[in-house]
């Protein structure tokens, strides 16, 4: 076997690591589970009207992009959500993240949702789809960074 | 200076590379320019009614998530778009990708759009926002993998 200098060996090792697929994290499964759990918490908190728990799911630079309004920064959410949640009217919410892709400290989730809500005294079911960018925090947890959704009807 | 064994030096070099920010690609600027150009092509092709050019912007596994329908796979787009584009009625389209983030072979773009369209013989302006996942192709180009949008009004 040919002798490799320390410098050459170091360069080869560095190159090997640099060309590993960026998404090939050993802990992708744990990340996917954490992100699935986040959606469970999101839905439960929304139905319970628990604004604090729901707001804690958002990155400090987060942005929500709901239909019918320009994008809302997390500061706007913090100001408006407690009163909006207190009004109630969301009887059920199911969120199914059908796809979760991790790349380093970023992830996206895509899926569908439905929700039974009181509107003018009658319960209606809405259904739609969403696409969300999540960002890994310094403590390893995931939070919502960009979130957009729209209805199917 | 303490002597470092070849193995130890290799481990340190590998660790240094592994902890580089994953998004710190030297060619991020070129990627951002390519993605910005993609949106220019998207808007121009839509106004021109050029279905072939527009469809070529989509990944073979792409999915569009417009309001008012469940998600549409790229096969559905290929089947429906030529006739839909031939009907015309989109007089202008401006797409502004206000944010582009690259992570390996994935990217997301977030932004706003507006478009002047003929509806029942009258021109109306619609405006909204979008979030898009793009995927790097084997030839280095970017294509649309997931795309969702909704209106501001």
Query: Which of B6, B22, B150 comes nearest A9 by C-beta?
Result: B6
What is the rounded (10 degree) CA torsion for A50, A52, A54, A57?
A: -160
The answer on pLDDT for B45 being more than 50 is yes
The pLDDT confidence band at residue A138, using thresholds 50, 70 and 90, is very high
For residues B42 and B57, give the distance between their C-alpha atoms in angstroms, rounded to a whole number: 7
Rounded average pLDDT over A125-152:
98
Size of interface A-B (CB pairs under 8 A): 113
pLDDT tens profile B116-145: 999 999 999 999 999 999 999 999 999 999
- What would the pLDDT profile of A16-73 be if each residue is shown by its tens digit? 444 444 445 557 999 999 999 999 999 999 999 999 999 999 999 999 999 999 999 9
Give the residue from B15, B136, B150, B153 with the most A CB atoms within 10 Å of its CB, the best one to mutate.
B150
Show the tokens assigned to A68: 């019918």
Q: Are B90 and B55 contacting, i.e. CB atoms less than 8 angstroms apart?
A: no
Per-residue pLDDT tens over the stretch B59-76: 999 999 999 999 999 999
> Residue A149 above 90 pLDDT?
yes
Question: Which residue has tokens 């909704």?
Answer: B150
Q: Which two tokens stand for residue A143?
A: 């939070």
Mutate to test the interface with A, among B11, B61, B97, B129 (most CBs of A within 10 A): B129
Q: Which residues have CB under 8 Å from B143's CB, separation 6+? A: B38, B57, B58, B59, B62, B134, B135, B137
Q: Cβ contacts (< 8 Å) between B61 and chain A: which residues?
A: none
Q: Give the burial string for A48-77 (b: 16+ CB within 10 Å, else e).
A: ebebeebbebbbeebbbbebeeebbebeeb
The pLDDT value given to residue A11: 52
**Mean pLDDT computed over every residue of chain A:** 89
Assign B74 to helix, strand or coil. helix
Quote the CA–CA distance of A116 and B126 in Å, as a whole number.
Answer: 29
A chain contacts of residue B96, beta-carbon cutoff 8 Å: none
Quote the pLDDT of residue B15.
Answer: 46
> What is the per-residue pLDDT for A5?
54
Upper half-sphere CA count for residue B6 (Cβ side, 13 Å): 10
pTM of the model: 0.83
Give the distance from residue A150's alpha carbon to the nearest chain B alpha carbon, in angstroms: 5
**pLDDT for the residue B7:** 55
Query: What's the pLDDT tens digit per position in A63-75?
Result: 999 999 999 999 9
- State the complex-level ipTM: 0.83
Distance CA B135, CA B145 (A): 6
């Amino acid at each position: 076997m040919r002798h490799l200098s320390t410098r050459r060996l170091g360069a080869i090792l560095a190159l090997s690591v640099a060309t590993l697929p960026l998404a090939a994290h050993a802990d992708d499964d744990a990340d996917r589970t954490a992100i699935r759990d986040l959606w469970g918490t999101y839905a439960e908190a929304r139905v319970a009207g628990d604004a604090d728990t729901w707001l804690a799911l958002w990155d400090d630079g987060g942005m929500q992009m709901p239909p019918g309004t320009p994008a809302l920064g997390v500061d706007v959410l913090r100001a408006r959500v407690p009163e909006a949640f207190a009004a109630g009217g969301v009887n059920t919410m199911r969120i199914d993240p059908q796809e979760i892709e991790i790349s380093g400290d970023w992830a996206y989730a895509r899926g569908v949702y439905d929700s039974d809500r009181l509107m003018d005294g009658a319960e209606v079911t809405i259904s739609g789809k969403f696409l969300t960018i999540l960002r890994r925090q310094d403590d390893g947890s995931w939070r919502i960074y960009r979130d957009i959704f729209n209805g199917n009807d």
